[in-house]
């Protein structure tokens, strides 16, 4: 997945700003090139330090707005405060139960609220697993 | 009656790549049946073995989540717009 530098920096800044809670958002673009990372409110109310939820209403709105702009939802991003920048078993299990085939998940690890690392992963129903893919800055 | 249904990208391999399809249906349950008839394999993506909507799938009728209407029994009328939307969550 390819990301303009400003988009990558926006996700990392969001993760730092939200620390120690998880933050999340939606990636839109075309043909493996992310045009924008749209920050969403984390709707998880009980354990937002270790969980995130994107409201279906937010997804519906972004789905419509991106289609009107000729863009697609390519995937999602969320942060892992003080944890590694890789999908957890919870991420994998929920992706497998949901509609995630062929979508990109960016995980932004944020250590101590300052140091960030973003990685990109593709979920495949056939494998029931994430596979890391290049996080390419364009 | 024909209902327009927005298809999210993970389901488009089952609709031949179509972002939107049209189905004849008078309820959400009939719509799921119609989707399965036209695009085999869609039903199991939307409902579980007991026929209930899957936890991480939402169906909206004109911006209303059917879970807050009559779920699968929600009535549809001509001109209604239906959207299938993933519920996205995760964490550590």
Can you tell me the ipTM of this complex?
0.90
> Alpha-carbon distance A9 to A5, whole Å?
6
The structural architecture, per CATH, of the domain A2-137 is 3-Layer(aba) Sandwich (3.40)
Give the start-to-end residue ranges of the domains of chain A: 2-137
- Closest partner residue to A102 (CB to CB) among B9, B56, B87 is B9
- At the fourth CATH level, the homologous superfamily of domain B2-86 is Beta-grasp domain (3.10.20.30)
Task: Please report residues of B whose CB lies closer than 8 A to that of A106.
Answer: none
Q: What is the pLDDT of residues A53-63, one digit of tens each?
A: 999 999 999 99
Give the start-to-end residue ranges of the domains of chain B: 2-86
Q: What is the pLDDT of residues A74-104, one digit of tens each?
A: 999 999 999 999 999 999 999 999 999 999 9
In this prediction, residue B1 has a pLDDT band, given cuts at 50, 70 and 90, of low
How close, in Å, is residue B22 to chain A by CA atoms?
A: 17
Task: Please report residues of B whose CB lies closer than 8 A to that of A52.
Answer: 89-91
Q: Are B76 and B1 in contact (CB under 8 A)?
A: yes
Burial of A129 (0-12, 13-18, 19+ CB in 10 A): middle
Give the Å distances, CA to CA, from B51 to A105, B7, B48.
Answer: 29, 20, 5
In this prediction, residue B91 has a pLDDT band, given cuts at 50, 70 and 90, of confident
């Amino acid at each position: 997945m390819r990301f303009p530098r400003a988009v990558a920096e926006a996700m990392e800044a969001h993760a730092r700003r939200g620390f120690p809670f998880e933050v999340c958002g939606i990636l839109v673009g075309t043909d493996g090139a992310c045009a924008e990372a749209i920050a969403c409110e984390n709707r998880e109310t009980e354990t937002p330090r270790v969980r995130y939820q994107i409201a279906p209403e937010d997804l519906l709105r972004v789905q419509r707005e991106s289609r009107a702009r000729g863009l697609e939802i390519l995937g999602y991003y969320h942060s892992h405060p003080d944890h590694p920048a890789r999908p957890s078993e919870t991420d994998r299990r929920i992706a497998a139960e949901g509609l995630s085939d062929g979508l990109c998940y960016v995980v932004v690890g944020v250590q101590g609220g300052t140091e960030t690392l973003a990685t990109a992963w593709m979920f495949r129903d056939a494998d029931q697993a994430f596979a890391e893919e290049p996080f390419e800055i364009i | 009656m024909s209902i327009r249904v927005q298809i999210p990208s993970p389901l488009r391999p089952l609709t031949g790549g179509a972002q939107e399809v049209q189905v004849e249906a008078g309820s959400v349950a009939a719509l799921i049946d119609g989707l399965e008839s036209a695009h085999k394999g869609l039903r199991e993506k939307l409902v579980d073995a007991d026929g209930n909507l899957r936890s991480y799938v939402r169906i909206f009728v004109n911006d209303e989540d059917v879970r807050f209407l009559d779920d699968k029994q929600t009535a549809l009328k001509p001109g209604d717009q239906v959207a299938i939307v993933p519920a996205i969550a995760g964490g550590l």
